[in-house]
Amino acid sequence: MKKSALYILFLVLLSNSASLLAQTEPEEIKLNSDKFTDYFFESLKQKAIENYDKAIVALEQCLKIEPENATIHFELGKNHLALKDYRKAYSSFEHATQIDPTNKWFWVGMYDVDYQTKDYVNAIKTINKLIPFDTKFKEDLTSLYMSTSQFDKALDLINELNESSGKSERRESYKTQILSQGKYQNAEISNLIDQIKKYPKEESNYISLIYLYSKNNETDKVLETARKLETELPTSEWAQVSLFKYHLENNEGEKAINAMNIALASGKIDSKIKHRILNEFLIYVGANPQFAYALEKATGYFDDDPEVNVAKEIGKFYQNKKQWYKAIGYYEKAIAKSTEIDIETNLLLLQSYTETKEFIKAAKKASDMVDVFPAQPQFYYYSGLAYNQLGQFKRATEMLEMGLDYLVDNKALEINFNIQLGEAYHGLGDEKKKDFYFTKANQLLKQ
């Protein structure tokens, strides 16, 4: 199957732009020869199954035919990056930008290398090349300024973005950090300490003092105040918020989980703070997977949250780590919880089923979604792909041909439809139609 379901996954990921990626990466390739086409297809196939070395060999053959093809250099960069060969990856992406400096994704490749190698100074230079393409990269620039302690530039940019785009939680957090040395702070700290001595049972004073100490990153004083609050008000949930962060920073996983569960169960603590706690714990679990068991209980606290489907977000967390089976579990839970059918979650689930080769489940889910969203071509595509993998070629052609009727302005998905139709007719023994659809896919690639 053999230009294959795994290779196709690369292209179908590009097709899910609105849901799965913010923007489809370009595939503008001029295929000047049959050999070039074969090598390029081979590179995509090998990359899809993570044979990056073989993909690189195929791309190097492409360069012998078209040495100044910017997209081939870009693809080389992606494969070198997957192998963590950062020097070669950066060189390939940089070469692509030299050939075509107007292509955003070539600069994104350089930025990815800068970020992964923690070369934040160079990342600032690269991100300034990206901002003319998309001003959303200014958000990244803010973080880079913070990482390089360029607080004056960060503050100017934060104020600019607050005015143009509205405030965000992350930028407000940065601003709090920058302004933590405010001239009125020490007087307020002294006042709160006096108030705590006079009124040791007044919870709000502890909370305000913890907040000010946190602004200064005075962790020891945060802990000291939180412990005093625990002593005076043992049932205080707010104390657990600060203690949770402290335990994480000190790698005290079990204590952090206990504090997290108390905070998440609280009816006093704002939902935004609870979401932040869970996000911080997710990051911690990424580095300490032995504590992942606590996610199930933590997720349960958000079952009635109308704003955020937490199970879906945890599914994305595991999907980004390519832990597909765990992702599937949370996507299924997210779908079961939701009162409305969410297209994105179902597409993410179908992708995960495909990655784990659970084609029976994929076929059923995709067909069910076609019944609910008959004008959504991606569900027909997944249905056809799954039926092809199950050897049900006639059913595959039916679904794929119906799906093509709803396909509008999505070249990558159209290429995938034609390849799957070629596979299906090959399975049915109709070589004429197989050649027709494969030829059409090749023609689309050349456009």
Higher pLDDT: 162 or 104? It is 104
Residue 311 contacts residue 288 (beta carbons within 8 Å): no
Q: Is the residue at 107 inside a domain? A: yes
Rounded CA-CA distance 330/326 in Å is 7
Q: Is the residue at 119 inside a domain? A: yes
pLDDT band at 353 (very low <50, low <70, confident <90, very high): very high
Higher pLDDT: 45 or 172? It is 45
Tell me: do 42 and 110 sit in the same domain. yes
Tell me: do 176 and 244 sit in the same domain. no
Residue type, 399: M
Tell me: do 111 and 18 sit in the same domain. yes
Closest CA to 7 of 23, 27, 21, 22: 27
pLDDT recorded at residue 349: 94
Higher pLDDT: 355 or 292? It is 355
| φ and ψ of 199, to 5 deg | -130, 75
pLDDT band at 32 (very low <50, low <70, confident <90, very high): low
Single out the residue in 308, 325, 348 at which a domain terminates: 308
Tell me: do 147 and 268 sit in the same domain. no
Tell me: do 160 and 35 sit in the same domain. yes
Tell me: do 159 and 32 sit in the same domain. yes
CB atoms within 10 A of CB 132: 11
- The region of weakest confidence among 19-33, 90-104, 262-276, 409-423 is 19-33
Summarised one tens digit per residue, pLDDT across range 412-424 is 999 999 999 999 9
Residue 160: give its domain's CATH number.
1.25.40.10
Q: How many domains does the chain have?
A: 2
What would you report as the CA-atom Rg of the chain, rounded to the nearest whole angstrom?
Answer: 26
Residue 176 pLDDT greater than 80, yes or no: no
pLDDT recorded at residue 116: 92
Summarised one tens digit per residue, pLDDT across range 106-158 is 999 999 999 999 999 999 999 999 999 999 999 999 999 989 988 878 877 88
Residue 203 contacts residue 191 (beta carbons within 8 Å): no
Residue 335 contacts residue 342 (beta carbons within 8 Å): yes
Tell me: do 250 and 129 sit in the same domain. no
Q: Is the residue at 113 inside a domain? A: yes
Single out the residue in 250, 276, 308 at which a domain terminates: 308
Q: What is the DSSP string of 355-400?
A: HTT-HHHHHHHHHHHHHH-TT-HHHHHHHHHHHHHTT-HHHHHHHH
Tell me: do 166 and 291 sit in the same domain. no
pLDDT recorded at residue 18: 35
User: Could you identify the residue written with the tokens 């043992």?
Assistant: 234
Crossing angle of helices 185-198 and 203-215, in 10° steps, is: 150
Residue 298 contacts residue 333 (beta carbons within 8 Å): no
Residue 445 pLDDT greater than 70, yes or no: yes
Residue 190 pLDDT greater than 80, yes or no: no
pLDDT band at 389 (very low <50, low <70, confident <90, very high): very high
Tell me: do 28 and 173 sit in the same domain. yes
Residue type, 429: G
Q: Is the residue at 222 inside a domain? A: no
Residue type, 154: A
Q: Is the residue at 243 inside a domain? A: yes
The average confidence (pLDDT) of the chain is 84
Rounded CA-CA distance 13/11 in Å is 5
What is the helix (H) or strand (E) element at residue 46, kind and residue range?
helix 34-48
Rounded CA-CA distance 211/223 in Å is 11
Residue 89 contacts residue 98 (beta carbons within 8 Å): no
Tell me: do 120 and 51 sit in the same domain. yes
Residue type, 259: A
Q: Is the residue at 121 inside a domain? A: yes
Rounded CA-CA distance 103/96 in Å is 9
Residue 77 contacts residue 96 (beta carbons within 8 Å): yes
Tell me: do 166 and 18 sit in the same domain. yes
Tell me: do 39 and 141 sit in the same domain. yes
Single out the residue in 150, 181, 212 at which a domain terminates: 181
Q: Is the residue at 322 inside a domain? A: no
Enclosing domain of residue 144 = 5-181
Q: Is the residue at 38 inside a domain? A: yes
